[in-house]
């Protein structure tokens, strides 16, 4: 399941535009917008430190949050954010309104487990990761935190496909085919024969 939800306090923005946005940033605030759910967009300002902390904590784009604006609460999912290319601070965030019925498209990180149980890795093979993330459609209130890919028993030359990953109920991949997530490939210098024999015995 997705990470625990969190809450941010925001203030409504009366003025929009570059001049207003620059003034907000000087005052330690980030301009942002809440949109979607067939309602008018709401321009808001958020505390820069709070948002930056959430972005750096990981899972920002896959965790539903609650934003309180002048006493009213909105359930949202971050859809995009812009960083200053030079100074690396957050310049703007877009939030999508969500409810229990909202279907969202998100990229879920892939974790690889049991690498030590892979005969191919044991003999010096290299895990070649084709996709670090998998894009899926899923309910906003049931976003997976990550997918586990099991390397147990995988040999050199083996490919791991999405069909080997158990997707939670209601979660479907955006790509409609059995695509490759990773492969076990031979090392550039060839396989160490002694290691290969040891791997075969293990």
84 and 122 share one domain: no
pLDDT on residue 3: 56
61 and 135 share one domain: no
Tens of pLDDT, residue by residue over 165-188, are 999 999 999 999 999 999 999 987
Q: How many structural domains are present in the chain? A: 2
141 and 59 share one domain: no
Mean pLDDT of the chain: 88
| Residue 41 belongs to domain spanning | 6-98
E-assigned strand segments in the chain: 6-12, 29-36, 39-47, 65-69, 72-83, 90-97, 103-113, 126-129, 133-139, 147-150, 159-161, 172-173, 180-185
Closest CA to 164 of 193, 131, 119, 195: 131
Answer whether residue 1 is part of any domain. Answer: no
Output phi, psi for 115, to 5 deg: -60, -35
Q: What is the pTM of this model?
A: 0.77
For residue 71, is pLDDT > 80?
yes
pLDDT on residue 202: 46
């Amino acid at each position: 399941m997705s990470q625990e939800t969190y809450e941010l306090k925001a203030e409504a923005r009366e003025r929009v535009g570059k001049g207003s946005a620059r003034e907000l940033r000087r005052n330690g605030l980030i301009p942002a917008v809440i949109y979607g759910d067939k309602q008018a967009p709401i321009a808001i300002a958020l505390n820069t430190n709070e948002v930056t902390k959430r972005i750096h904590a990981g899972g920002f784009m896959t965790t539903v949050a609650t934003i309180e604006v002048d006493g009213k609460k909105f359930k949202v999912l971050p859809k995009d954010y812009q960083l200053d290319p030079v100074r690396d601070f957050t310049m703007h965030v877009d939030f999508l309104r969500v409810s229990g019925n909202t279907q969202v498209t998100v990229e879920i990180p892939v974790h690889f487990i049991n690498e030590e149980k892979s005969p191919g890795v044991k003999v010096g093979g290299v895990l070649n990761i084709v996709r670090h993330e998998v894009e899926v459609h899923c309910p906003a209130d049931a976003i997976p935190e990550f997918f586990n890919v099991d390397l147990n028993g995988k040999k050199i030359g083996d490919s791991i496909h999405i069909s080997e990953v158990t997707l939670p109920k209601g979660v479907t991949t955006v790509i409609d085919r059995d695509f490759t997530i990773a492969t076990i490939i031979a090392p550039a210098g060839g396989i160490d024969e002694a290691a290969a024999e040891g791997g075969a015995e293990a």
